[in-house]
Structure 1
């Protein structure tokens, strides 16, 4: 007889168990226990973030979260994440989490919800009223063999984030993110919130994250997040006036080499299907696709 799972609000002490379930569902995504704890506990009040877990026989077997997207000027945008450990699927856990999360989003004023699902979860999502908009490709590379590092152009200095003023990184990040493919433009990123959620997150390794400086301007950058011997590319971008010079390829190549020297053995990243330039860079670096997730939208 199957024990019915109990859904409750997640707390900081759930971080290790949630991280373990996440690794079981998404082996190609790297997020440490410390970063998971930060995700559970640190958000802007305006996000109205609700983190949930499902327990079976006292063991966390699923995660669900929902909140408003406060980094866009487009009102009422929100996101939902649900993942269930493979051996506990088809027991109604995902449906219960979805019901709780959609109800919460309706109560806090969301009008549209974004979610990403594995292909085998597409029918479940469609039954909840989601429809497809885009594809997100996930890829990985073993760091034992990397192509030759590109030359650094004249006038460019490479720095690690531990030697950078956070305001400089924030400026580059928010400018480069404006034309990232997505369903909502990231045009309303508050500095203090960015500082708390991104810069101060324990997932960001500032000794491995690399920026290309043109004088006082960060022209390009890549953010490295680590989990043991694995890393995740949090964001790689170049501000518009410095594009076309190979700077994104350069900073990512340098970061991967630094990561390999620090004992990281595997790197993972994701790219929207429409982001041809970044897909080309990752192919050159040796990344190979491991999964494609489907980006879906639901109107509340």
Structure 2
């Protein structure tokens, strides 16, 4: 078996096809998006047997502080042949080379969870997937007084400029086991929805809600970050922004919008339920030290 880094557009497309096969219920980034996210810290590989792609892997600096993410995936018909193990070791070595002390991974089925436990990963947190079926225009609640809603795409630089005052506060409030550590560059690139709706008051961003459209299925989208600055909470702004995003989805042919929310974020899960989202899946977040003792 050969494990080689993705280099060409064809490599990235084959990497995409493995993810689509393993996670058909989630959007997969386009080749252009994968290329845009490339960095020295990020490793994307393909596993081949006799020249045929049988799996892929991803290792990168995590949004969790002092941690690296490892994602080995093997096509179902090629599992239990040691391919996942080889991929995991390859990805762990990359994270070790970054000098990060903790590994992060995820599982949302019993097979993946059993595999992770074999290599010392333990549950650190849980996420809940909730799904909204779009069946027509969405009634949007009134925008709070003094607030203007625009898109980040209409106002270049506004999202990037919101990192210090808005972004860091929102990131600090995530219900996670380890604080998030998101650089301004990653905020600008990885956390921006398209579209991303921004609530402005006196020219400052006080709330956001975005969507990530599915490049392979125009009827499906994922909610991006939905957040409101602390001093603006309790005024109906999160509801308004989320409904604006859902109404945009309805107007653009999207039939299903799904979102992943931390299990500990009861307020957002309750809001989603009130808006008509149904709980559809649970994902388990896992961690372990980089070097096992």
Q: TM-score, normalised by structure 2?
A: 0.87
Q: Indicate the residue corresponding to 1:54 in structure 2.
A: 47
Which moved further from structure 2: 79-88 or 29-38?
Answer: 29-38
Shift of 1:146: 6.6
Shift of 1:238: 1.0
Q: Indicate the residue corresponding to 2:180 in structure 1.
A: 186
1:269, 1:166 → 2: CA distance? 21
1:268, 1:227 → 2: CA distance? 11
Aligned with residue 20 of structure 1, among 3, 13, 17: 17
1:234, 1:260 → 2: CA distance? 16
Aligned with residue 224 of structure 1, among 192, 208, 211: 211
1:92, 1:37 → 2: CA distance? 27
SS at 2:35's partner residue? helix
Q: Indicate the residue corresponding to 1:170 in structure 2.
A: 163
Shift of 1:212: 1.4
Aligned with residue 27 of structure 2, among 30, 39, 48: 30
2:137, 2:54 → 1: CA distance? 37
Matched ranges for 1:245-284 at <5 A = 245-284=235-274
SS at 2:288's partner residue? strand
Which moved further from structure 2: 139-148 or 93-102?
Answer: 139-148
Q: Indicate the residue corresponding to 2:135 in structure 1.
A: 144
2:8, 2:226 → 1: CA distance? 29
SS at 1:298's partner residue? strand
- RMSD of equivalent CA atoms: 2.2
Shift of 1:80: 1.2
Shift of 1:213: 1.2
Aligned residues: 282
In the alignment, structure 1 segments of 5+ residues that lack a partner are none
Render the CA deviation track for 1:53-95: whole Å, top value 9, x for unaligned: 11245443322111233x56x4x32211222222222222111
Aligned with residue 226 of structure 2, among 231, 236, 239: 236
Task: Tell me whether 1:112 sits opposite 2:102 in the alignment.
Answer: yes
1:67, 1:184 → 2: CA distance? 17
SS at 2:153's partner residue? helix
Matched ranges for 1:124-135 at <5 A = 124-135=115-126
Render the CA deviation track for 1:209-252: whole Å, top value 9, x for unaligned: 21111121211101211114121122111111111122112111
Matched ranges for 1:199-218 at <5 A = 199=192, 204-205=193-194, 208-218=195-205
Task: Tell me whether 1:82 sits opposite 2:92 in the alignment.
Answer: no
1:233, 1:139 → 2: CA distance? 10
Q: Indicate the residue corresponding to 1:11 in structure 2.
A: 7
2:23, 2:86 → 1: CA distance? 21
Which moved further from structure 2: 234-243 or 23-32?
Answer: 23-32
How has the CA–CA distance of structure 1 residues 86 and 273 changed in structure 2, closer, same or farther, with 3 Å as cutoff? same
1:280, 1:146 → 2: CA distance? 22
Check conservation: 2:139, 2:247, Cα contact below 8 A. Answer: no
Check conservation: 2:137, 2:250, Cα contact below 8 A. Answer: no
2:137, 2:18 → 1: CA distance? 31
How has the CA–CA distance of structure 1 residues 146 and 27 changed in structure 2, closer, same or farther, with 3 Å as cutoff? farther
